[in-house]
Homo-oligomer: A and B are copies of this chain.
């Protein structure tokens, strides 16, 4: 297969998170924003988080697999090239700590920081295990109609989303009374699950304030954390099947709210838990 054929057959998510490593340093990566995952004023935050994590995944000094990822969105990415600096700052026997910074050259030619992130990777061992957040009782994905979450953002078309409850309110009339969403979701077209895809899906929920208030106000994630509870073998076994994602706001206060989320396999494995702090206006 030639390079051109590979590119033609690549999944759009793989294209979106693709990075080139600099020849002179294992810590420096370059990428390009993807129109396929465009949101309103920049790329979808989930794909950006996945791209930051991808630098860790590609790093030749990486030990173990992702355990925790926190991404802080400092500015909207502009369309075009960006740079990532990802380095292991402490390597222990079974855990490794990472600092990640994403920058972009602005119109004046200055490099501007657009994202900071930290990650912890770990070599996990089998221990006593217990899932205290079982899969909610919901209709099967085959019995749940698929929707386009909202018009105007390209990234929503990159996911098959089947809301069990808590879809976008059909009428925005200030009538909301909770912010709980449960969606079956998977990549569109289907793609085998991996850490980057899971990080991205952790952000695949529209702003909780829209649901809670039944009112669409400007909103954007400021900080996103993902805890990974599965290893690569479990993710590979999951394949490209639907996940159940759940998201709910906890406190909405003076311009910011938090969101708590869960991502399960159909068989009930809690693959990831996630939290975010989100800006909203009004």
Binding site for B on A (CB under 8 A): 67-68, 70, 72, 74-75, 89-90, 92, 95, 97, 99, 101, 112-114, 116-118, 120, 122, 124-133, 178-179, 212-213, 222-223, 225, 227, 229-231, 248-256, 258, 260, 262, 270, 273, 275, 277, 279-282
Q: Are A250 and B231 in contact (CB under 8 A)?
A: no
Q: Are B101 and A74 in contact (CB under 8 A)?
A: no
Q: Are A213 and B253 in contact (CB under 8 A)?
A: no
From B124, B225, B253, B281, contact of A255 by CB (8 A): B124
Which residues of chain B are within 8 angstroms of A282 by Cβ–Cβ distance?
127-128
The 6 lowest CB-CB distance pairs between A and B, nearest first, are: A74-B90, A68-B223, A70-B70, A229-B251, A124-B254, A74-B97
Which residues of chain B are within 8 angstroms of A250 by Cβ–Cβ distance?
131-133, 262, 270, 273
Q: Are B89 and A113 in contact (CB under 8 A)?
A: yes
The CA of A156 and the CA of B183, in the complex, are separated in Å by 42
The CA of A139 and the CA of B229, in the complex, are separated in Å by 35
From B120, B229, B231, contact of A222 by CB (8 A): B120
Which residues of chain B are within 8 angstroms of A262 by Cβ–Cβ distance?
250
| A131, closest chain B residue (CB) | B251
Q: Are A116 and B89 in contact (CB under 8 A)?
A: yes
Q: Are B116 and A277 in contact (CB under 8 A)?
A: no
Q: Are A227 and B101 in contact (CB under 8 A)?
A: no
Say yes or no: A223-B70 contact (C-beta < 8 A), given A116-B89, A129-B254, A258-B229: yes
Q: Are A126 and B254 in contact (CB under 8 A)?
A: yes
The CA of A7 and the CA of B255, in the complex, are separated in Å by 39
The CA of A273 and the CA of B128, in the complex, are separated in Å by 27
Say yes or no: A132-B70 contact (C-beta < 8 A), given A120-B277, A258-B229: no
Which residues of chain B are within 8 angstroms of A92 by Cβ–Cβ distance?
74-75
For the complex formed, measure the closest distance between the CB of A243 and the CB atoms of chain B, giving whole angstroms: 14
12 A-B Cβ contacts within 8 A?
A: A67-B222, A68-B222, A118-B223, A128-B213, A128-B282, A129-B253, A130-B253, A131-B252, A132-B248, A133-B251, A229-B251, A229-B258
Q: Are A256 and B67 in contact (CB under 8 A)?
A: yes
Give the residue among A99, A127, A179, A251 with the most B Cβ atoms within 10 A: A251
The CA of A114 and the CA of B90, in the complex, are separated in Å by 8
Q: Are B258 and A260 in contact (CB under 8 A)?
A: no
Q: Are B231 and A178 in contact (CB under 8 A)?
A: no
Q: Are B277 and A67 in contact (CB under 8 A)?
A: yes
For the complex formed, measure the closest distance between the CB of A281 and the CB atoms of chain B, giving whole angstroms: 7
The CA of A101 and the CA of B89, in the complex, are separated in Å by 10
The CA of A212 and the CA of B128, in the complex, are separated in Å by 11
